[in-house]
Amino acid sequence: MPHHVKSQALSHLRICDFTGQLAGAGATKFMAAFGAEVIRIEDPTNHGRWDILRGMPPYVDDRRGPELGGPFNNHNVGKLGITLNIKTEKGRELFERLVGISDCVTENFSSGVLRSWGYDYDRLKELREDIIYVSNCGFGHSGPYEKFKTWGPIVQATSGLTMSSAIPDQPPAGWGYSYMDHTGAYFMAMAIMLAIHHRNRTGEGQYVDVAATEAALTLNGPVLLDYTVNARPLRREGYPDANHSLHPAMAPHNIYAAKPIPGSFDEAWIAIACRNDKDWHAMRDVLLADGCDWAANDDYGRLAGRMAAQVELDARIGEWCLSRDPFQSAELLREAGVPANAVQTPEQRIDQDVNSAESQLWPTIRQTEMGRVRVDGIPAKFTKTNWSMTRGAPVLGEDNDYVYGELLGLSESEIAGLYEEGVL
Amino acid sequence: MTTNPSHGMMALDDLRVLEIGDERGAWCMKLMADMGADVIKIEPPEGDPSRQYEPFVDDEPHHERSLFFWYYNTSKRSIVMDFDDRSNAETFLKLVGTADVILDTNTYDPVGRLGVDYQQIMSDNPGLIWCTITNFGFGSSRDDEPQTDLTLAANGGFAWMNGYDDHSLPPVRGGGQQAYHTGSNYAFMSILTALLHRDATGVGQHINVNINGSVNVTTEAGSYSWLVSHSTVQRQTGRHAGVAPSMPSQIKCADGRYVNTGIPPRRPAEFGLCYRWLEDEGLLDQLPEAALLLVGAELESFSLADVFRGDNEELLAIFGAGRAAFDLLASKLTAYEFFTKAQNFGFQVGVIHSPEEALEDPHFVDRGMQVKVEHPELGREVIYPGAPYQLTKGSWGITRRPPLLGEHTDEVLSELD
């Protein structure tokens, strides 16, 4: 240490980190990118595999194993890694010393796991008076579902996000991934930093209970107020309709099939949104220039007319969209002032969109076993303490010497002894 | 008007924040305001555009009745300032001098229109944190393009991930302006990061947040499958988009509503629990394969890969029996019953609630997710969704109903004298 030049934004903070997967690991990944010293604790008895992502695909090559999981690397960039068997007496003693020199303890176990090891907030507070303890679990640490288990899709289902992602007359499409593992991690990062600011002001630590389902529930606000104020539920005939826009009302507003791009997938799609009458008039002129005389219909000139005729409008625009590849039509529309984009594939948005390179969104890091790999960066630039990512996720016990030696002051022979006893 | 008059100190109640922007930043500012920051929303004379957004109270369009505006502007104050009137520059600079944080979305451009100097502002206010949220990041070659939440969700990767097994159906955006939310989430995390740095050093800075970038790094395997192995995931109904197709995970229940089963029974103990559940419901005789569940319960552990290899017919049959058991149970139970009963047996399944059903679910009610806010002008008390996180000290609260247009102009300006 230090392994590289770090951001100074959070370099004064140390996090004793039990988080895993994405819902927890994503939170401390963000803070590590800004220089926080995040010490990831892993169990040596099962090679850290309580985090199931450790060995999960994708892989960089034919090798497999707990050091080679692509998702684990992506979510744990820049963290330190130690092994520690917390079921042993010496392991507990070392953990307790580590808490004593940390600002925060973070975890996203199922409810009650850390408590079952003897470490609730009150115990952690005995180890360090101003400790901040942040837990993140699906339903939180109280209430009828406290013991229920979740992962991203279950969080999304129970909070309304899955249902609100659908088109009419179809079952829920939901989110095709764990949106709420990412976003739950964002709320966890906010909660950690809010608690640190509170401590900076008052000297007090605290316990924070993050429930990913509740964070998710706050992400459908206008729909919820339409229900609590106007008694209009989203579960009603013809809804939800996620590709249309009611809040605010816009039309046309949809995702349309486009002409596939040779050499790419056999499907291609374009998203188009007319925000107002001005956008429609601009789009109308593009359509008229292509011989779509129907676009001149005066009924479409005003929003109310377009909302009322949205289904037929979609069908006609859909025909027009099939005539070009989606990048060509999107550019044509944007030049006329109308919001439009291709539904980009991962390759298109990562390797072909100029914005990815401009914003240095996909840094290449070096992970000890995997070698050089690109990862998700941070979509923000700071003028004074910008983020950095150069080191990948830790391999098991990669930082034992630094943490136990330099931070806790153990000698080389003491550390060697701990390995022999199965503590590390 | 104050909702939680009992709340004491709040984590951010030492901060004065100026919000100069549109709906793209309003969520970030609500998150700050509901943690106690004094967020002053500077609106143009005609009001923030989202005051004209549906839905309206009783469906009556009016700039004080937009529920969209209400949701995103709780706990804030509103002042009106015309940036086309350069005589406001002095007042603006005075206001900036009282601010800890400025959030702008590059919509109203106070620097250009009022003729104030950004560099001068930053050097006169060395602790100031100025955060800009734009579609592609301020200064990007794409940042002047017209975009909306939908088109950013398409460009940045959300849409590619969401949809149906039937690829003649379009990709789905995901409800609720989540592209804008994700940009705002990154903005708030970034502001807090800069704030902690300022707590330690006194130094502020500018932060440039990119909504398209925020969407791009919020797609889980969509991105890392490409980054790590140049493979592309494809959308599937109600479950993770995958490089290879996976099994369905949504079941329609007796009441026509759906549950997400995650991964169906696959461990020996789970086959035993599945059998017991059928027994509890009196359904054993309706499932000819039920005996296989008991065989499964006695197995040594196996992995899903063992099943999908397809060469062990007994394993396939046992696994199939588990799925058939879930299908049968779902056909006899409501989605909510299936969810709670399955979870009580330890199965990780979820009822697919609509947002309003979630708000009324007994668990979330118990956890305080319904928060009442007085709207005296309308003689109503309105239920808002509650806290996204539960801090035990300096905690969350809606301190004011959303402001009327310019409600606090005189109050705020008089504080400057």
pLDDT value at A285 more than 90: yes
CB of A306 within 8 A of CB of A252?
yes
Whole-number pLDDT of residue A2: 36
CB of A163 within 8 A of CB of A240?
yes
8 Å CB contact of B224 and A58: yes
Q: Does A30 touch chain B (CB under 8 A)?
A: yes
Sheet holding A80-83, edge to edge: A80-83, A37-42, A14-17, A104-107, A132-137, A206-211, B390-391
Whole-number pLDDT of residue B1: 36
8 Å CB contact of A255 and B258: no
Residue B323: in which H helix or E strand, if any? helix B313-332
**Structure tokens of B357?**
């059903």
Provide, as residue numbers in chain B, all residues whose Cβ is less than 8 Å from the Cβ of A232. 55
For the segment A357-363, the average pLDDT, to the nearest whole number, is 95
CA angle A412, A417, A418 (to 5 degrees): 100
8 Å CB contact of A174 and B214: no
B348: nearest CA partner in chain A: A149
Q: Does A211 touch chain B (CB under 8 A)?
A: yes
Pairwise CA distance, residues B327 & B331, whole Å: 6
Number of CB atoms found within 10 A of residue A367's CB: 24
Q: Are strands B250-252 and A380-382 parallel, antiparallel or unpaired?
A: unpaired
B345-386: pLDDT as tens digits:
999 999 999 999 999 999 999 999 999 999 999 999 999 999
Pairwise CA distance, residues A159 & B215, whole Å: 20
Task: Give me Rg for the CA atoms of chain B.
Answer: 26
CB contacts < 8 A, A to B, total: 540
In terms of Cβ atoms closer than 10 Å to its own Cβ (0-12, 13-18, 19+), residue A324 is: middle
Mean pLDDT of chain A: 96
Q: How confident is the model at residue A5 (pLDDT cuts 50, 70, 90)?
A: low
Q: How far is B286 from chain A (nearest CA, A)?
A: 27
Number of CB atoms found within 10 A of residue B275's CB: 23
**Structure tokens of B327?**
């299908």
CB of A395 within 8 A of CB of A67?
yes
Q: Does A120 touch chain B (CB under 8 A)?
A: no
> Which of B227, B231, B382 lies at the smallest CB-CB distance from A229?
B382
A132 in helix, strand or coil? Answer: strand
> Which of A150, A233, A272 lies at the smallest CB-CB distance from B356?
A233
Q: How confident is the model at residue A3 (pLDDT cuts 50, 70, 90)?
A: very low
pTM of the predicted structure, to 2 decimals: 0.97
**Adjacent-strand bridge partners of A82:** A41
Whole-number pLDDT of residue B312: 86
B164: nearest CA partner in chain A: A173
A85-115: pLDDT as tens digits:
999 999 999 999 999 999 999 999 998 999 9
pLDDT < 70 stretches in chain B = 1-7
8 Å CB contact of A218 and B388: yes
Interface-testing mutation among B74, B169, B196, B343, with chain A (most A C-beta atoms within 10 A): B196
8 Å CB contact of A380 and B237: no
Concatenating the DSSP letter of every residue in A9-48 gives: TTTT-EEEE---TTTTHHHHHHHHHTT-EEEEEE-GGGTT
8 Å CB contact of A379 and B343: no
Q: Does A355 touch chain B (CB under 8 A)?
A: yes
8 Å CB contact of A214 and B386: yes
From residue B124, alpha-carbon distances to A104, B93, B119, B120, B402 in Å are: 35, 10, 8, 6, 32
> Which of A215, A247, A353 lies at the smallest CB-CB distance from B54?
A247
Pairwise CA distance, residues A173 & A164, whole Å: 9
> Which of A156, A207, A355 lies at the smallest CB-CB distance from B212?
A355
Q: Does A250 touch chain B (CB under 8 A)?
A: yes
Asked whether the ipTM of the predicted complex exceeds the cut of 0.95, the reply is: yes
B251 in helix, strand or coil? Answer: strand
CB of A187 within 8 A of CB of A215?
yes
> Which of A30, A171, A222 lies at the smallest CB-CB distance from B55?
A222
Quote the distance between the C-alpha of residue A109 and its chain's center: 17
Whole-number pLDDT of residue A167: 97
Give the percent of chain A with pLDDT over 70: 99
Indicate the residue type of B34: D
Whole-number pLDDT of residue B7: 61
